[in-house]
Structure 1
């Protein structure tokens, strides 16, 4: 597989094979695209009982959805789900990886803890971010911040994602 550089990313976006909405060419770096944090967060409710991790597990049973206007206060050790402002569509021969940005990692913010793979052929999907404050100080997380980046790769062959999170809107 080969990582797409800025010129290839812009070529795909201009051709319409990759769609990012909203999009500004300034988001594209040498080999990545910055994505911005939206206003919705999914927070964990205080534990009342054991939650069984099985194939039927539904995160909505242990979380609540909230929306903020100014910022979300992420306490040390706290985990939340955020979501990108951008909706992303990839063709069947390109996949992607979500990565945190080093400027935030340096203050203990883990922007994407697990499940950072973006399947080829996703359609108009916002990307859910599994965020965690691994540092010792509370962090005010502001919507609109360029919080993470995606790295895109060409696939060998083609595939199209048709799972339950196709066209996801919320964390």
Structure 2
């Protein structure tokens, strides 16, 4: 399968057929569509994990204390959000993205941000048929805090054709803000975690 270039990306966005249309909204600047990717912006919602006295996050348990160590933050446009070294924060894209079942995607850092230590995704795949905002796993690998502003172009989506896929209807379908997944909900968890 081939990666979609600019002309194919524009054609998918402008498709009149809802079954083949790629939705990326709001697309605030036509220059967000690059040679083979679409630049996407940082949204306003963040989930910060506070340091606590948990020994570990164990996928075999549903520890209720995990909820207490997450706090939600909303940052207005123009306000600063500080991402400290070695800190992992969940953010979301400003754009709502809807892939047709004929496209799959990957989200990755923009080079400008990667070169100062910002990693925006540790789970990069976007399944065919996914619709929602994209959760960004923001990680600062640098030595100093990074100042982030909602609306900045921090990531990019690379899309390719996909044949024979079923539209995504998993746990994150339709999400519009960042959130943690429930690791313990994996179907084969009991097999691998019980002695």
TM-score normalised to structure 1 length: 0.92
Instruction: Deviation per CA, 1:8-43: give whole Å up to 9, x if none.
Output: 000011015101111132210000000000111110
Matches within 5 A, 1:73-84: 73-84=82-93
Equivalent residue, structure 1, for 2:80:
71
Equivalent residue, structure 2, for 1:18:
22
Which consecutive aligned stretches of 4+ in structure 1 deviate over 3 angstroms post-superposition? 54-60
Rate the CA distance shift 1:55–1:18 in 2: closer, same or farther, 3 A: farther
Matches within 5 A, 1:53-132: 53-54=59-60, 61=67, 62-69=69-76, 70-112=79-121, 114-123=122-131, 125-132=132-139
Q: Is the 8 A contact 1:93 1:159 kept in 2?
A: no
State the distance in 1 between where 2:73 and 2:101 align: 33
Rate the CA distance shift 1:57–1:15 in 2: closer, same or farther, 3 A: farther
Aligned residue for 1:127, secondary structure, equals strand
Q: Which runs of 5+ in 1 are unaligned?
A: none
State the distance in 2 between where 1:145 and 1:85 align: 9
State the distance in 2 between where 1:133 and 1:14 align: 36
Equivalent residue, structure 1, for 2:36:
31
Q: Which runs of 5+ in 2 are unaligned?
A: 179-195
Aligned residue for 1:39, secondary structure, equals strand
Equivalent residue, structure 2, for 1:147:
154
Q: How many corresponding residue pairs?
A: 169
State the distance in 1 between where 2:119 and 2:105 align: 18
TM-score normalised to structure 2 length: 0.81
Offset at 1:45?
A: 1.7
Rate the CA distance shift 1:59–1:110 in 2: closer, same or farther, 3 A: farther
Bigger Rg, structure 1 or 2: 2
Further displaced range: 78-87 or 54-63: 54-63
State the distance in 2 between where 1:78 and 1:152 align: 29
Equivalent residue, structure 1, for 2:58:
52
